């Protein structure tokens, strides 16, 4: 069996087109959606992520002002800045790009974002609402994007065994939570595996759907995958590649060529989960603006 590719780039561009329509509709009704993507300092990866998010906003007709703050900003100045955005009627969504430079306290900054504007879904109020099954809560973008990918390939998790490898608060744990909820496009039996799990291969082979978010290049080999499984590879890892201009290439957590021969569907890296994360962030921004407009 050679797995079909789950084309996250294409699916994300469909979602972004839907977002652009909604943004236009809201703008015509007097509320142009606005997202503040706050970048503190000069971390190169964070700069790239924020630039991509801003560009995606602009393409979708979402207002996205520059929010670049110096690395030596004090905690209280940063909290004041967040407070101003909380009060700004042109801003409906706020995200603070992580990690923040030392010694800034990320948890305190996250707590200061108004839950109604927390489009990243990281505020404890939104986490709690999500865990209690409140479908109106903002869901973190990457896990929501994974559920959306499953929807768009018509793979209903209901009754299936989903194995999630990795239990971070931004990917593994929330995706396990979302897919086990008593909701449409969920209702799965979920196993959450991590670094203390004995025999990842044995656990992996149980998964009708295998979601891998651990951050180790080519960690999942074909023998760890149930034949016919749907494989979602969240990992983004740099490996040296002297044939590339940059000297490296990006690979996932799944050994793509081998696993493709075992799975029924598989996401590529890049071009799988990654583009969905931005698309779902834009979707959350529309949801936030829609509430303010109502």
CB-based closest residue to ligand NAP:
168
Kindly state the smallest distance separating residue 273's Cβ from ligand NAP, in Å: 4
Nearest of 211, 147, 210 to residue 179 by alpha carbon: 147
Cα(28)–Cα(15) distance, rounded to whole angstroms?
20
Kindly state the smallest distance separating residue 214's Cβ from ligand NAP, in Å: 3
Kindly state the smallest distance separating residue 100's Cβ from ligand NAP, in Å: 15
Which is closer to ligand NAP, CB of 26 or CB of 179? 179
Contact set with ligand NAP (CB under 6 A) = 142, 165-168, 170-172, 194-197, 200, 213-216, 234-237, 273-274, 277
Which is closer to ligand NAP, CB of 196 or CB of 246? 196
User: Would you state the structure tokens that stand for residue 200, as one six-digit string?
Assistant: 């990842």
Kindly state the smallest distance separating residue 171's Cβ from ligand NAP, in Å: 4
CA torsion, ordered 230, 236, 237, 241, to nearest 10 deg: 90
Looking up tokens 């004995």, which residue turns up?
Answer: 198
Residue 193, classed as helix, strand or coil, is strand
Kindly state the smallest distance separating residue 76's Cβ from ligand NAP, in Å: 28
Q: Which residues are annotated as catalytic? A: 53, 97, 120
Which is closer to ligand NAP, CB of 86 or CB of 168? 168
Cα(17)–Cα(282) distance, rounded to whole angstroms?
11
Which is closer to ligand NAP, CB of 41 or CB of 204? 204
Helix (H) or strand (E) holding 5: strand 4-5
Which is closer to ligand NAP, CB of 40 or CB of 234? 234
Give Dmax (Cα) for the chain. 57
Cα(281)–Cα(156) distance, rounded to whole angstroms?
23
Residue 169's Cβ-count burial label (10 Å; 0-12, 13-18, 19+) is exposed
User: Would you state the structure tokens that stand for residue 142, as one six-digit string?
Assistant: 């990457």
Kindly state the smallest distance separating residue 170's Cβ from ligand NAP, in Å: 5
Query: Do 146 and 186 form a contact (C-beta atoms < 8 A)?
Result: no
Which is closer to ligand NAP, CB of 81 or CB of 207? 207
Residue 39, classed as helix, strand or coil, is strand
Residue 89's Cβ-count burial label (10 Å; 0-12, 13-18, 19+) is exposed
């Amino acid at each position: 069996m050679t797995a079909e590719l789950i084309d996250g780039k294409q699916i994300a561009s469909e979602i972004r087109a839907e977002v652009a329509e909604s943004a236009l509709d809201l703008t015509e009704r007097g509320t142009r959606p606005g997202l503040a993507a706050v970048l503190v300092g000069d971390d190169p990866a964070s700069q790239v992520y924020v630039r991509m998010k801003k560009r995606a906003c602009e393409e979708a007709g979402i207002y996205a002002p520059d929010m670049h703050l110096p690395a030596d900003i004090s905690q209280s100045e940063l909290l004041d800045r967040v407070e101003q955005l909380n009060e700004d009627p042109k801003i409906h969504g706020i995200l603070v790009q992580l990690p923040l430079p030392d010694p800034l306290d990320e948890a305190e900054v996250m707590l200061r974002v108004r839950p109604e504007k927390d489009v990243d879904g990281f505020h404890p109020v939104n986490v709690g609402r999500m865990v209690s099954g409140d479908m109106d809560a903002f869901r973190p973008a990457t896990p929501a994007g994974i559920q959306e990918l499953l929807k768009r390939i018509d793979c209903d998790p209901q009754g299936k065994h989903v194995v999630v490898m990795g239990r971070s608060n931004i990917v593994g744990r929330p995706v396990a939570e979302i897919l086990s909820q008593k909701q449409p496009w969920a209702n799965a039996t979920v196993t959450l595996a991590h670094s203390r799990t004995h025999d990842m291969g044995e656990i992996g082979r149980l998964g009708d759907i295998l979601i891998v978010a651990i951050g180790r290049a080519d960690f999942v080999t074909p023998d760890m995958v149930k034949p016919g499984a749907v494989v979602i590879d969240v990992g983004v890892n740099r490996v040296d590649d002297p044939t590339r201009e940059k000297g490296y290439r990006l690979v996932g957590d799944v050994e793509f060529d081998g696993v493709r021969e075992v799975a029924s569907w598989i996401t590529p890296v890049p071009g799988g989960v990654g583009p969905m994360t931005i698309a779902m962030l834009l979707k959350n921004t529309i949801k936030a603006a829609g509430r303010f407009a109502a």
